[in-house]
Structure 1
Amino acid sequence: MTTFSPRLRQRAFAAAAILPLALGLAACKKADNATSSTPTVAAPTTPPAGKQWSDVIVPTAEGGLVMGNPAAPVKLVEYGSLSCPHCAKLAQEGMEKIVNTYVKSGKVSYEFRSFAIHPQDVPLTVLVRCAPTEASFGLIEQLFMNYDAVEKRSEAGFPQAQASQNQPPAQRLITVSDALGYTEFFSARGLSVDQQHKCLADTAAAAKVAKEAENISNKGIESTPTVFVNGNKVGSSEWSDVDKALQAAGAV
């Protein structure tokens, strides 16, 4: 799980100079993980005409994105960082089965809550939310599946991104995103540069991401990915353990 390894801490400090946003991560405290009995899996309702459950994506009040049957008896919630290598590993190993086996069955809904534990997560989250809601999960998946290339490109751009420190607030995330290669990445996946720049110039959107990170931290969550199945915390970020938890909850 990612907290702040030396390498990520170095990147975070560099980004913090670029993005003076107070993420306000609280000290560690144990989350309340009351156990619950395995639910009885009812027959799923029918997805909207012409769609599969994996096509049904809605935002939540907490800033998350839920894919799947809203009445699914098994609810998977992941607190993840879009720049987290462990989150990328979980997605690379488990996303296909989560979506194509569990979510499409109607028995499982999957909610991803972006947890900006690294400042570079702020522009990434803003850009994911800049896309139409139905495309958002696909962009998250693309970031994780291309993690190494995105990481390598962003590291190369840190010197250029430093220029944002002397710019007006509305210009800073634009400069950072352009320098770190994020704008190029999302442009190749259907978001125009103009639309991205418009979203990145919205300082309220960035502040919302930072506030959500503070709220998540106040729940006692301090690392990514942190995964819950039906409100019960999975004690590992390994896909094999998450899969076991899903199956034990009645996903199959």
Structure 2
Amino acid sequence: MRFASLALAIGAAFTATAAVAATNWLTVVDTAGGGHRIGNPAAKVKLTEFISYTCTHCGEFAREGTNAVDVYVASGKVQLDVRHIVRDPVDLTAAMLANCGPAAKFPRNHATLMLSQPKWLPIMSRATAGQKARWSTGAGPARRRAIASDLGFYDLMVPRGYDRPTLDRCLSDEALATRLAEQTAADAKKWGVRGTPSFAIDGTLLAGTGTWPMLQPQIDARL
């Protein structure tokens, strides 16, 4: 009987280990803390990223570091908490689209918007007076729909499985817009974030760290 019990225990342990190993941590997303915690909640390293979609340095970080960070998260050793620092109406519009739909869709929504920044940011910088007026006057949902249309955000999100009515509903979510603005203010106060991108590891804001080559050694040192 003891051998049978031992065999059952070993089998159960193997099954549990296999289940953990098979977990796709890139699709495990927890929003309870206000941001999006992506990955293993028991990860050894907790990485926090403060980003703005209209921040060019954030775009540079995304292009050089997104795939590498994904590898760390997929391993189960690092959990990434993405937190929005909303700077302007375009930034808010992008953040609301990134938050559109189930939380599990956020990581790829976020990556899509950040990695395509070189396509839409120049359009924003060349905006006409008429476009800027549409982006800054009138009701919030109408302003955000104009931004999404002018900058091609709708076209970016359709391949992600969204249709125009769904995206418009997300852009009309005033409660979400308010929450993102309040979260920005709360995080700036709590963490002392002065610019983007900024990073924290295990609850400590990292000074002078804004690129992947600067961040990676600090993650590795804690693994």
Structure-2 change in CA distance of 1:47 and 1:125 (3 Å)? farther
Work out whether residues 161 and 175 of structure 1, in 8 Å CA contact, stay in contact via their aligned partners in 2.
no
Output the CA distance in 2 between the equivalents of 1:126 and 1:142: 13
What TM-score, normalized by structure 2, do the two folds share?
0.82
Q: What is residue 197 of structure 2 aligned with on the other side?
A: 225
Write the mapping of 1:181-200 to structure 2, written as runs, cut at 5 A: 181-200=152-171
Matched-pair contact (CA < 8 Å) for 1:234–1:245: no
Residue in 1 that maps onto 2:172? 201
User: CA contact under 8 A between 2:93 and 2:148: conserved in structure 1?
Assistant: yes
Rounded to whole Å, the distance in 1 between the matches of 2:218 and 2:188 is 23
Q: Deviations along 1:8-65, whole A, 9 cap, x unmatched?
A: xxxxxxxxxxxxxxxxxxxxxxxxxxxxxxxxxxxxx766695322221221332x11
1:23 corresponds in structure 2 to: none
Q: State the partner residue of 2:90.
A: 120
The CA distance in 2 between the partners of 1:46 and 1:223, in whole Å, is 41
The residue identity in structure 2 corresponding to 1:241 is M
Q: Which among 99, 123, 139 is matched to residue 70 of structure 2?
A: 99
| Greater gyration radius | 2
Q: What amino acid does structure 1 have at the position aligned with 2:89?
A: P
Structure 1 runs not aligned, ≥5 long: 1-44
Shift of 1:73: 1.4
- Residue 95 of structure 1 deviates from its aligned partner by 1.5
Assess if the C-alpha contact under 8 Å between 1:80 and 1:225 holds in 2. Answer: yes
Give how far 1:231 is off.
1.6
SS state of the match for residue 89, structure 2? coil
Alignment coverage as a number of residue pairs:
205
Q: Which has the higher contact order (CA 8 A, sep 6+)?
A: 1
Partner of 1:153: 123
Match of 2:42 in 1: 71
Give the 3 Å change call, closer, same or farther, for CA 81–241 of structure 1 in structure 2: same
Distance of aligned partners of 1:230 and 1:168 in 2 relative to their CA distance in 1, 3 Å threshold: closer
Q: Give, in whole Å, the separation in 2 of the partners of 1:46 and 1:198.
A: 40
Aligned pairs for 1:1-252 within 5 A: 51-62=23-34, 64-100=35-71, 102-158=72-128, 159-219=130-190, 220-235=192-207, 236-250=209-223
Q: Is the 8 A contact 1:47 1:69 kept in 2?
A: no
Consecutive unaligned residues in structure 2, runs of 5 or more: 1-16
TM-score by length of 1: 0.73
Q: Cα–Cα, structure 1 residues 157 and 192, in superposed 2: closer, same or farther, change >3 Å? A: farther
What is the deviation of 1:187?
A: 2.3
